[in-house]
Structure 1
Amino acid sequence: MKNNKRPNSRRIISVGQIVGWLAIFALAVLLFNKQGPKQAELDYSDFKNKVAAAEVSDLTVAPGVISGMYKNQDGQFAPFKTVRMEDPDLVNQLSAAKIKYKAEKDNSWLGNILFNVLWIVLLIGLWWFIFLRPQRSDGKSALNFARSKAKMQDPSQQTVTFKDVAGCDEAKEELEDVIKFLKNPKKFQRLGGKLPKGVLLYGAPGTGKTLLAKAVAGEAGVAFFSASASEFVEMFVGVGAARVRDLFDQAKKNSPAIIFIDELDAVGRRRFAGIGGGHDEREQTLNQLLIELDGFESKQGIILMASTNRPDVLDPALIRPGRFDRHISVPAPDLKGREEILKVHAKKVKLGADVDLKVVAKGTPGFVGADLANVINEAAILAARADEEAVTSADMDEAIERVIAGPQKKSRIISKHEQRVIAAHECGHTIVARLTNHSDPVHKVTIIPRGQALGYTLQLPLEDKFLTSKSELLDKLCILLAGRAAEEIVFGEITSGASDDLNKTMAYARKMVVELGMSDKLGPIALPNGDDGEVFLGRDLSRHKTYSEELARTIDEEILTLIKSSYARAKEIISSHRVAFDKLVETLLAKEVVDAKEIDEILGLKPVAKEDASPKPAEQEPVKEEPKAPKAEKPEAKQAELF
């Protein structure tokens, strides 16, 4: 393996730089010679005549020169200077004419040094500081825009390994080949195999893509160059392409090495998608990146890794085989993965005996690694704030709710009438969620404000699921509309509290009809959603319909049918269980928080059991049957995707 030495950053100064600095030097000389007002030169005899006529003033008598103001032919005072002669009577003549003057010591040699030599030394020093000094040290300078801003990390300083990464076992297995190649490239080259030049990590924000790249470098023990894609593009044309060239040059000098570019979509978006043509700075940077990917061979020991959470907007030429050959998905972790991630982040946190990380993992469906790290950190902060000896289970529960909905708004004053409206709204969600066949179990309901929410119903699944049935989506629509239905049933009017529920309802219903083929009238069809539109202009702006107006009218009718039928179903469930609903409202107003056990007692239900997944008809009294084990979605307040 080649030694990883720091690249020699000494460079020969170009002819253009020398010419430029000579031009600056000449300009400075001209400016120095022209500085200050122009002084007229008088003969000493003319000066004596002016003294006799009292036509001079503000004299400065120096050993070699006399300067001051004199009256010229136009009768105006102007600056002048004259050579001083040996004249013992000069002082007496000035005193007799009452002309003010001042004398200076003989320091002309010092002035000559200061004004004629020192500024040249300063100019040379500035030249050395900007150009020569950085070339002897780290190669960075204020005017050196073309240098890459990528940070190089020595193998000895890399402490992150695969032991620090959890919840993405499949991604780690895919990256094992990269590590083995960097450690022993001859093993692959012996049979003619070539390692992929580029590895693209994609997934939702916070899933650990950057951490995976660092772990690969730590496991392989090679130089690691990390840069953000936004660092390549500057206001100066050509800087981005120059920085890309410089980055690859540094990597070649330190091979074997890994180049990691974070947020690749900042420079890797599709070309020729905008109005301004294809010659902007970002596209020049992308073109240079494509050239560099074609310019090196895998035998050079350079691996390019990049991460993005928008792989759909990348240029096809960038992600084709031969450039980014391997695409590795880094998804949100499952139940086992969440537990492993929690163990990694909890190593430095003192946990109480009542904290079970497996239970915490069950209560955080859909959370990514960054969310789980935040949960552990928030729990530790809450425990320290309360002067506790260790983090308790209550701290963990509060931390999860903080991540989902935000901190409690204890200072927010809400009137009794609005509290009752909020309680009825949330109880509508709760009772419908508990009495429908395919919904997630209700964990708790509260009217304590958190973040932007005045109250919320928290549903947590029992297991991870990767498919969503039509029945589950219909129950979802019914649950979302249950809050508005409860307001109408109890108060005979509606409020603005259901605005977010209505937006989500519309999104779910449209997705069912247009994309998932779940409309009985339209059948199993999926209509274009505009994903092939130009990214630069925005897909909503560039979207065009590929179906008739008649079909569009049918789509709207089907969406309205789904929403209206779900709303009627929600009203029917609440009305048929009005006694239990009213009791739940009063309990919630009294306690502000009602957990799942008390909800089941009020509704006369048995607790949800994971073993019994048989459905319960909503039309019957659901005392003897239990709900089906639901799908694994992140709680409603934390959902980032529709499904």
Structure 2
Amino acid sequence: MNDDKEPQGTNPWMKSLAIWLGIFLALVVFVTMFEGSSRSSQAEGIAYSDFLNRVEEGGIKEADIGNGVITGTLTNGTTYRTTAPANTAFVEQKLNENKAITVRFKAEEQPSIWMYLLYQSLPFLFILGIGFFVMRQMQKNAGSGAMGFGKSRARMLTQKEGRVTFDDVAGIDEAREELQEIVDFLKDPTRFARLGGKIPKGALLVGSPGTGKTLLARAIAGEANVPFFTISGSDFVEMFVGVGASRVRDMFEQAKKNAPCIVFIDEIDAVGRHRGAGLGNGNDEREQTLNQLLVEMDGFEANEGIIIVAATNRPDVLDPALLRPGRFDRQVVVPRPDIDGRLKILEVHMKKVPLAPDVITRTLARGTPGFSGADLANLVNEAALLAARKGKRLVAMREFEEAKDKVMMGAERKSMVMTEDEKRSTAYHEAGHALVSLHVPGCDPLHKVTIIPRGRALGVTWNLPERDRYSMSMKQMKARLALCFGGRIAEQLIYGADELNTGASNDIQQATDMARSMVMEYGMSEKLGWLRYRDNQDEVFLGHSVSRNQHMSEETARLIDSEVRRLVEEGETTARKVLTDHLDELHRLAGALLEFETLTGEESKKAIAGQDIGRDDGAARGSTPVTAAGSSIPKSKRPGAGGWGDAAPQGA
């Protein structure tokens, strides 16, 4: 923001126009000053001898003598110009002999000293004027000008830009209640002062990306109807030492002028990381910025009426001084919504979408575990786009289901072609995953299985929990280990060990990581006990990951590897037993996938039992191009939803 406030009603475009108009008038004056010499230079120049001949022949009508130059008009009306000699007596005699020539003498003009100074200084004044105009334009955007590095880049949002209230924030009722006190304080500060209470100076919103932290901060300002300053943590840091601290000071100065107000710092971990953890010394720019922020929030000078609201998804890296009482003394967790929260969020986003009568919001909420508010907004938007692409006037449940599949599993890749053998191998692979999930206790219910490529997946087996899950038992994790190997073992039983392909690479990676976490983090190994053998993250030094548990002995490391192998082999044995005992069901399910290419959980159960799945809209064999197995998909970002794409488990 700029310290120089524009007068009310002043149009910045008019000011710029006035400056440019002044520059234009200066150019006009500059050109006019030399207009006389330009005009004289337009006269026809003739030789002195030619001038004398024309005098004798009577070809001269007028003659003006002065300043060493003779100018005038010829008898044909043309102007002329010639240089006169130092002694003009001879010329005067010749002109006087011809009485028809009008002779005039010009007195020698002495230029004014002010005109001389103006002639010399005008170019420099013109250059200085342009430089002043450029510098003023650069300083208008605080922080971006050549002289404005220390200006705050915080923007003040007013209610004209769209007021957001708590009615627009759904699914995070607990966080709203935590922040309601801040709203009440901004509306009526004396209510708390009478009882000697002090409102927290800062509130830290902690939550995963997309859970609505920024929206919640805007809702606080909208409810209290106060100015709202917003800035990102990275906007404080520059390559010049001291700039960030200057911007912090300027931001608080602007906030004091508009108090009571709210200052929202997004991604505060960019500037509030733990001091001394970096590679630099104590005088680096980021730490100086953090020091200034700490002083401004709770120093000798009180900042009454200024409430700092910050957001981050990495509270573990913040400096302890930033979190102590008196600064960010209230931490508000903004979690991913549960089923009731997802229902409310969907209702908010569906207000602007024309819905068909068959849309059941609770069914969509149940089928989207782990979705954040941003994910649900994207789901509704994708459904509206699909309906518009089909030329529909209402968004039906079918569009929402297709949008959900697209968001969770990726878009269908119908343009890729595979051979019949490759398609058959993919069908057995996904059928193996599905069959294991149906017969191993602890697995989530089977939701859908498909051999149509989606995103980077070349086939997906998708499991959904019956309700929101916040933890996993050892039984459930061992079931997922068995589920990881369902595809690889199914291929081995059908084609033999020599025909195995690379499609299970991600399966093996997911199973290994899960087993290692069970041993080293969750205390699920009797031999190693309830000890933690690794931290949440490894340190990074110059781009290389350095393990923190270098104190681990060789014997302990061997024991960990042995326990990890044991858990993986137990999962493999469980999956092999299930598929061997139900080999006929494996053939039936793979055959149904080859015919219909996509089956729901209920249709998969009917196919395993040899029953008619109850639909005839399935594509004929090979009607939809599918790619071969042999690729993998990344881990799912949706906790609680297990999807195995071409033998690549997600959400494990």
TM bucket by the smaller chain? 0.7 to 0.9
Distance 1:115 1:428, change over 3 A: farther
Q: How far, CA to CA, are the matches of 1:7 and 1:587 in structure 2?
A: 71
Would you say 1:552 and 2:557 are equivalent positions? yes
Distance 1:222 1:478, change over 3 A: same
The Cα offsets for residues 534-585 of structure 1, whole Å up to 9 and x where unpaired, read as 5676794252334322112111100000001101110110111000101111
- Classify the secondary structure of the residue corresponding to 2:456: coil
Partner of 2:500: 494
- Return the offset for 1:123: 0.6
- The one-letter code matched in structure 2 to 1:513 is V
Contact 2:642 2:649 in 1 (8 A): no
Would you say 1:231 and 2:235 are equivalent positions? yes
- The one-letter code matched in structure 2 to 1:401 is D
Q: How far, CA to CA, are the matches of 2:155 and 2:644 in structure 1?
A: 38
- Classify the secondary structure of the residue corresponding to 1:318: helix
The Cα offsets for residues 345-404 of structure 1, whole Å up to 9 and x where unpaired, read as 111001111111111111111000111000000000000000011111111011011111
- Return the offset for 1:86: 5.1
Q: How far, CA to CA, are the matches of 1:6 and 1:334 in structure 2?
A: 44
Distance 1:129 1:331, change over 3 A: same
- The one-letter code matched in structure 2 to 1:505 is A
Q: How far, CA to CA, are the matches of 2:193 and 2:302 in structure 1?
A: 10
Q: Which runs of 5+ in 2 are unaligned?
A: 7-65, 70-82, 89-108, 612-637
Partner of 1:283: 287
- Classify the secondary structure of the residue corresponding to 1:636: strand
- Classify the secondary structure of the residue corresponding to 1:192: coil
Partner of 2:399: 395
Q: How far, CA to CA, are the matches of 1:301 and 1:189 in structure 2?
A: 13
- Classify the secondary structure of the residue corresponding to 2:323: coil
- The one-letter code matched in structure 1 to 2:598 is V
Distance 1:535 1:323, change over 3 A: farther
Partner of 2:183: 179
The Cα offsets for residues 51-83 of structure 1, whole Å up to 9 and x where unpaired, read as xxxxxxxxxxxx9999xxxxxxxxxxxxxxxxx
- The one-letter code matched in structure 2 to 1:148 is S
Count residues in correspondence: 527
Contact 1:530 1:544 in 2 (8 A): no
- The one-letter code matched in structure 2 to 1:518 is M
Contact 2:507 2:649 in 1 (8 A): no
The Cα offsets for residues 92-148 of structure 1, whole Å up to 9 and x where unpaired, read as xxxxxxxxxxxxxx9x9999867631332331353255249967x989845312111
Q: How far, CA to CA, are the matches of 1:380 and 1:132 in structure 2?
A: 44
Partner of 2:75: none
Moved more, 561-570 or 485-494: 485-494
The Cα offsets for residues 231-280 of structure 1, whole Å up to 9 and x where unpaired, read as 11122221111111111110011000000011111111112222232322
What's the Cα RMSD here?
Answer: 3.2
Q: How far, CA to CA, are the matches of 1:407 and 1:128 in structure 2?
A: 53
Would you say 1:600 and 2:605 are equivalent positions? yes
Q: How far, CA to CA, are the matches of 2:570 and 2:527 in structure 1?
A: 15
Partner of 2:475: 471
Q: How far, CA to CA, are the matches of 2:445 and 2:507 in structure 1?
A: 19
Partner of 2:421: 417
Partner of 2:524: 518
- The one-letter code matched in structure 2 to 1:283 is E
- The one-letter code matched in structure 2 to 1:498 is A
Contact 1:206 1:369 in 2 (8 A): yes
Q: How far, CA to CA, are the matches of 2:133 and 2:374 in structure 1?
A: 46
Q: How far, CA to CA, are the matches of 1:536 and 1:196 in structure 2?
A: 37
Q: How far, CA to CA, are the matches of 1:322 and 1:428 in structure 2?
A: 58
Q: How far, CA to CA, are the matches of 2:600 and 2:192 in structure 1?
A: 58
Partner of 2:589: 584
Distance 1:432 1:140, change over 3 A: closer
Contact 1:518 1:524 in 2 (8 A): yes
TM-score, normalised to structure 1, is 0.76
Partner of 2:210: 206
- The one-letter code matched in structure 1 to 2:177 is E
- The one-letter code matched in structure 1 to 2:163 is T
- Classify the secondary structure of the residue corresponding to 1:394: helix
Would you say 1:527 and 2:520 are equivalent positions? no
Partner of 2:327: 323
Q: How far, CA to CA, are the matches of 1:523 and 1:373 in structure 2?
A: 44
Partner of 1:541: 546
- Return the offset for 1:604: 3.4
Contact 1:194 1:298 in 2 (8 A): no
Would you say 1:146 and 2:153 are equivalent positions? no
Distance 1:133 1:299, change over 3 A: closer
Equivalent residue in structure 2 for 1:633, among 629, 640, 648:
640
Q: How far, CA to CA, are the matches of 1:529 and 1:276 in structure 2?
A: 24
TM-score, normalised to structure 2, is 0.75
The Cα offsets for residues 311-348 of structure 1, whole Å up to 9 and x where unpaired, read as 11111221222211001111110000001101111110
- Classify the secondary structure of the residue corresponding to 2:406: helix
- Return the offset for 1:155: 4.3
Partner of 2:297: 293
Distance 1:8 1:180, change over 3 A: farther
Partner of 1:563: 568
- The one-letter code matched in structure 2 to 1:603 is I
Equivalent positions of 1:115-194 (< 5 A) are 116-128=121-133, 130-131=135-136, 141-155=145-159, 157-194=161-198
Q: How far, CA to CA, are the matches of 1:64 and 1:194 in structure 2?
A: 89
Partner of 2:577: 572
Q: How far, CA to CA, are the matches of 1:86 and 1:327 in structure 2?
A: 97
- Classify the secondary structure of the residue corresponding to 1:569: helix
Q: How far, CA to CA, are the matches of 1:337 and 1:300 in structure 2?
A: 35
Q: How far, CA to CA, are the matches of 1:277 and 1:594 in structure 2?
A: 60
Distance 1:527 1:592, change over 3 A: same
Q: How far, CA to CA, are the matches of 2:282 and 2:502 in structure 1?
A: 47
Partner of 1:59: none
Would you say 1:509 and 2:515 are equivalent positions? yes
Q: Which has the larger radius of gyration?
A: 2
Contact 1:273 1:536 in 2 (8 A): no
- The one-letter code matched in structure 2 to 1:206 is G
Moved more, 485-494 or 321-330: 485-494
Q: How far, CA to CA, are the matches of 1:145 and 1:6 in structure 2?
A: 12
Contact 1:464 1:632 in 2 (8 A): no
Distance 1:86 1:326, change over 3 A: farther
- Classify the secondary structure of the residue corresponding to 1:122: helix
